[in-house]
Amino acid sequence: MPLTRKRILITGGAGFLGSHLCQRLLDEGNDILCVDNYFTGRKDNIAQLLGHQNFEAFRHDVTFPLYVEVDEIYNLACPASPIHYQFDPVQTTKTSVIGAINMLGLAKRIGAKILQSSTSEVYGDPTVHPQTEAYRGNVNPLGPRACYDEGKRCAETLFFDYHRQHKVRIKVARIFNTYGPRMHPNDGRVVSNFIVQALKGEDITLYGDGGQTRAFCYVDDLVDGLIRLMGTGADFTGPINIGNPHEIPVRELAERVIALTNSPSKIVHRPLPQDDPMQRCPDITLARQVLGWEPTVPLDEGLRRTIAYFEGLLAGDA
Ligand code: NAD
Ligand code: UDP
* Phi and psi torsions of 300, nearest 5°: -60, -40
Q: With contact defined as beta carbons under 8 Å apart, do 78 and 99 qualify?
A: yes
Q: How many helices (H) and strands (E) does the chain have?
A: 10, 13
pLDDT top residue among 2 and 21: 21
CA of 223 to the centre of ligand 1 (A): 14
212 lines ligand 2 (CB under 6 A): yes
- pLDDT exceeds 80 at position 3: no
87 lines ligand 1 (CB under 6 A): no
Whole-model pTM: value is 0.97
- How far apart are alpha carbons 68 and 107 in whole angstroms? 10
Output the CA–CA distances (angstroms, integers) from residue 49 to 21, 31, 35, 52, 57, in the order listed.
12, 12, 13, 6, 9
Which atom, in ligand 2's list, is nearest to the CA of 254?
7
Q: With contact defined as beta carbons under 8 Å apart, do 13 and 56 qualify?
A: no
253 lines ligand 2 (CB under 6 A): no
- How far apart are alpha carbons 102 and 35 in whole angstroms? 13
Q: What is the structure's pLDDT at 37? A: 98
Output the CA–CA distances (angstroms, integers) from residue 89 to 103, 123, 194, in the order listed.
20, 19, 25
* Phi and psi torsions of 10, nearest 5°: -120, 110
- pLDDT exceeds 60 at position 1: no
Q: With contact defined as beta carbons under 8 Å apart, do 317 and 277 qualify?
A: no
Residue closest by Cα to atom 22 of ligand 1 = 77
Q: Is 8 exposed, middle or buried (0-12, 13-18, 19+ CB in 10 A)?
A: buried
Map residue 194 onto helix, strand or coil: helix
Binned at pLDDT 50, 70 and 90, residue 308 comes out as very high
To test the pocket of ligand 1, the residue of 44, 60, 76, 87 to mutate (highest count of ligand atoms within 8 Å of its CB) is 76
- How far apart are alpha carbons 270 and 263 in whole angstroms? 20
Q: What is the structure's pLDDT at 119? A: 98
Longest CA–CA span in the chain (Å) reads 58
What's the angle, vertex CA 220, arms to CA 50 and CA 318, rounded to 5?
Answer: 60
- How far apart are alpha carbons 245 and 177 in whole angstroms? 10
CA of 263 to the centre of ligand 1 (A): 30
Q: What is the structure's pLDDT at 172? A: 98
To test the pocket of ligand 2, the residue of 177, 213, 214 to mutate (highest count of ligand atoms within 8 Å of its CB) is 214
Q: What is the structure's pLDDT at 4? A: 79
Residue closest by Cα to atom 35 of ligand 1 = 117
> What is the chain's mean pLDDT, rounded?
97
Q: What is the structure's pLDDT at 318? A: 57
- pLDDT exceeds 90 at position 44: yes
Which atom, in ligand 1's list, is nearest to the CA of 217?
40
- pLDDT exceeds 80 at position 317: no
Q: Which domains does the chain have, with CATH numbers?
A: 7-317 (3.40.50.720)
Tens digits of residue pLDDT in 204-251: 999 999 999 999 999 999 999 999 999 999 999 999 999 999 999 999
189 lines ligand 2 (CB under 6 A): yes
207 belongs to the catalytic site: no
The whole-angstrom distance between residue 197's C-alpha and the CA centroid of its chain comes to 22
Tens digits of residue pLDDT in 172-195: 999 999 999 999 999 899 999 999
CA of 294 to the centre of ligand 1 (A): 22
Give all strands (DSSP E) within the chain, no chain letters: 7-11, 31-36, 55-59, 72-75, 113-119, 170-175, 178-179, 204-207, 213-215, 217-218, 240-242, 247-249, 267-270
The one catalytic residue among 74, 123, 148, 162: 148
Q: Is 33 exposed, middle or buried (0-12, 13-18, 19+ CB in 10 A)?
A: buried
- How far apart are alpha carbons 90 and 79 in whole angstroms? 12
Tens digits of residue pLDDT in 50-107: 999 999 999 999 999 999 999 999 999 999 999 999 999 999 999 999 999 999 999 9
36 lines ligand 1 (CB under 6 A): yes
Shortest CA distance to 233 belongs to which of 290, 164, 161? Answer: 290
CA of 5 to the centre of ligand 1 (A): 26
Q: What is the structure's pLDDT at 255? A: 98
175 lines ligand 1 (CB under 6 A): yes
- How far apart are alpha carbons 278 and 208 in whole angstroms? 10
Residue closest by Cα to atom 10 of ligand 2 = 207
Tens digits of residue pLDDT in 125-178: 999 999 999 999 999 999 999 999 999 999 999 999 999 999 999 999 999 999
* Residues 35-39, mean pLDDT to the nearest whole number: 98
- How far apart are alpha carbons 296 and 217 in whole angstroms? 9
CA of 15 to the centre of ligand 1 (A): 6
